[in-house]
A and B are shown apart, each in its own frame.
Chain A
Amino acid sequence: MFDYFLQQLIFALAIGAIYGLIALGYTMVYGVMRLINFAHGEFFMLGPYVYTFVFSGLVGLGGLAPMLDSALAIVASFVIIGLLGVTIERFAYRPLRAYGRLAPMLSALGMSIVLQSAVRVTVGPQPVHFPAIVASEPIAALGGMVTTMQLGILAAAILLMVGLTLFVNGTRLGIWIRAASESWTTSSLLGIRVNRAVSLVFFIGPGLGAMAGIMYASYYGIMQPTMGSVIGLKAFTAAILGGIGSIPGAMLGGFLLGAIEVFGTAFLPILSGGLIGTEYRDVFAFAVLILVLLFKPAGLLGETISEETTVAKKDY
């Protein structure tokens, strides 16, 4: 049984890492702008499409070593989708800032439909095979089996998360982001260009989402225009579970949601003696979410929002 548990833990970590990476985008945007960016799931979906486009472009031009082509295409996807995020914020969200929270949120919903339909129309609605970036070799470990792909995803996700934490906590640009998320007015009085902080967040968030998308497509071997919808909702859930606005919270929430889902599937039938089947996974996962929120409404690592901060945020 312990082997079985370990095996499931590996699956939980791999899918949780992906949830966590996407959740970061939701939480960072929310932290700085108090906006739920519903278009975020589409950046995740665009990741593998842009990667494929750049990669086949490079190969078409003669190409370098295959690994180098991949690496270049990955970096290019991050940058292209990051810039797309910045552009969308500039033209679809910023002009609406003065009109309360509902207008930008609706704008984000609309943006999500625009991006998804655009891919559906230009590339086609059918799922497309996505060749694995790293060969998926199984390795026997501790009685279970782990593939190089899962290890790669876990390593890359943790690397990105550590990098982001160092960036936000240790650099000058990171100070902008943290300052803007505490109070726009005070930050701008102290000479911080709040709009730059917002643009920065809208570069990093979608970029990370795109990375998660590439890992996901590579892990499962397909990409399709609708893939961002369900997983975007799950990552959003993960962000709330961990405490929306909190960066470590998003990572924790991602891993936790992955674990709840996987262990729900793995142990529900065993623990209930076959009475409750695997089809109850989502019922279980979301019941846990509601329970957590009942006891910790701000999420696991979320700060309790005081009256003072709420007032300060109102001027956005």
Chain B
Amino acid sequence: MTRTRVILSAAALLLASSALPAVADDIVLGGSAPMSGAQAEFGQSQIDGAQIYFDQLNEKGGIKGNNIVFKALDDRADPRQGTLVAQQFCDDSTVIGVIGHMNSGVTMPALDIYSECGMAQVVPATNPELMRMGFETVVRPVANDFVQGALPAKYVTETLGLKKAVLVHDKTVFGQGIAGVFKDNFEAGGGEIAGTFGANPEDVDFSALIASIKLENPDVVYMGAGMPQLALFLKQMREQSLQAQFIGPDIGFTVDFITQAGAASAEGALMTFQLPPYDSSPELRDFSERHQARFGRAPGPYASLGFANAQVMAAAVEKAETLDREGVLAQLHGVTVDTLLGPVAFDENGENTTASMYLYVVKDGKFELVK
């Protein structure tokens, strides 16, 4: 008797609490990126950017009269946490689409979980493999690392006419992978790779490595690694007066790179990044102002990408015949939309057919777009 009553009231409570967070006709979309830890600056900026777009939509009455609720969870750039987050989104039947995750290493194990529960996924991570694993629940508006390694290789061989490069990588999937892409393109452009050097991902002392690179006397040093290693390597390189052109990938596109390497050492370093500067078009300037007004600070490095990803996700929801996971998923691959970062359409793998990549150079202690 008492036991039945307890169970009944517990069931009633459960029903009541599950009904609380979202009203019946709210559209709930999930987002996940590192919002704490060393990469929080990058992750939070994506979440903020997406939030701005959904706010904007809601002001105009949402999608088909339904309010959009954007539910952001922190994956701490940790694959274990990422799979937990994925499971949480899958288990919450109100969530009908997810934007995430930022890191390739976090996205990879989570793909399986999202695909199991038929969740449409817009991926901001850049590892080329992600879109070639046979999952049909994913699209990627951002350029992958094939593009990221190819652009600087083309630039230094064709525009700067530099023909002798040395590769340094940190033995990670990302670092070694992108250094390999650079190598292929550099050689295709008529350049010669004088040597490939591996270091550990946590190394801070590169002095011995640099001294042996000096023996090769290269024109270009391409480094596939993370932060702070990119900055430390460049600093030690200049201390040993190795004057070769330094090139790094997107992770180095942060003010920390310049402060940690020192403005004098960083001068002239090239860095690839998936996004244009915030003052490069009227739309981006407008976005920048809205971001300032909404959050009281300038947009972070990946904010415009977060906004564009939200546009893609919203377009799929807009076209969906039924407002559930199947409905959104059915439309995901066929979406064509003019985003903040340009037109987006997907090929059979779910890759954006026109994704851009930008090359920046450090000039007077700031990143400047290479025209």
Contact = CB atoms under 8 A, between A and B. Distances in A.
A278 B215 CA distance: 14
A91 interface: no
Interface stretch (A33-41, A67-75, A121-129, A304-312): A121-129
Given A145-B241, A222-B232, A262 B199 contact: no
Contacts of A11: 205, 207-208, 211
B204 A222 contact: yes
Nearest to B207: A11
A53 interface: no
B211 A278 contact: no
Contact of A221 (B202, B215, B235): B235
A107 interface: no
Contacts of A278: 197-199, 209, 212
Interface stretch (B126-134, B255-263, B285-293): B255-263
Interface string B252-274: 00001001101000000000000
A222 B205 contact: no
A8 B241 CA distance: 15
Contacts of B231: 222
A12 B202 CA distance: 18
Contacts of B241: 138, 145
B212 A15 contact: no
Interface string B155-172: 000000000000000010
Given A7-B211, A136-B239, A222-B232, A277 B260 contact: no
A266 B205 contact: no
Interface in A11-28: 11-12, 14-15
A315 interface: no
A138 to B, nearest CB: 7
B13 interface: no
A220 B37 contact: no
Given A15-B205, A221-B232, A138 B239 contact: yes
Interface of B: 36-38, 171, 195-200, 202, 204-205, 207-209, 211-212, 215, 227-228, 231-232, 235, 239-241, 256, 259-260, 262
Interface in A110-130: 125-127, 129
B232 A266 contact: no
A4 B215 contact: yes
Query: Nearest 8 CB-CB pairs, A to B?
Result: A279-B198, A265-B208, A11-B207, A262-B208, A127-B228, A129-B259, A278-B197, A266-B208
A147 interface: yes
Interface in A252-275: 261-263, 265-266, 269-270, 274
B38 A277 contact: no
A127 B208 CA distance: 23
Given A129-B259, A230-B202, A277-B198, A222 B208 contact: no
A220 B215 CA distance: 23
B171 A279 contact: yes
B204 A220 contact: yes
Given A127-B38, A127-B228, A261 B208 contact: yes
Contacts of A303: none
A240 B204 CA distance: 23
Contact of A277 (B36, B197, B228): B197
Nearest to B169: A279
A129 B231 CA distance: 10
B333 to A, nearest CB: 38
Identify which of A14, A147, A222, A278 gathers the most chain B CB atoms within 10 Å of its CB.
A278
Contacts of A274: 195
Nearest to A145: B240
Given A8-B208, A129-B259, A278-B199, 19 more contacts: A4-B215, A8-B211, A14-B207, A125-B36, A127-B38, A220-B205, A221-B235, A221-B260, A222-B232, A230-B202, A262-B207, A263-B208, A265-B208, A266-B208, A266-B211, A266-B212, A269-B197, A278-B209, A279-B197
A224 B202 CA distance: 11
Contacts of B227: 127
A7 B215 CA distance: 12
A206 B227 CA distance: 29
A153 to B, nearest CB: 12
A221 B257 CA distance: 12
A15 B207 CA distance: 10
Interface string A120-159: 0000011101000000101000000101000000000000
Contacts of A263: 208
A140 to B, nearest CB: 10
28 contacts: A11-B207, A11-B211, A15-B205, A15-B207, A125-B36, A126-B256, A138-B239, A138-B241, A145-B240, A145-B241, A220-B204, A220-B205, A221-B232, A262-B208, A265-B212, A266-B208, A266-B211, A266-B212, A269-B212, A270-B212, A274-B195, A278-B197, A278-B198, A278-B199, A279-B197, A279-B198, A281-B200, A282-B200
A148 to B, nearest CB: 11
Greatest chain A CB density within 10 A among B200, B208, B262 is at: B208
A222 B228 contact: yes
A270 B259 CA distance: 34
A277 B227 CA distance: 22
Nearest to A263: B208
Contacts of B199: 278-279
Contacts of A281: 200
Interface string A62-105: 00000000000000000000000000000000000000000000
Contacts of A145: 240-241
Interface in A217-262: 220-222, 224, 226-227, 230, 261-262
Given A145-B240, A222-B232, A279-B199, A125 B38 contact: yes
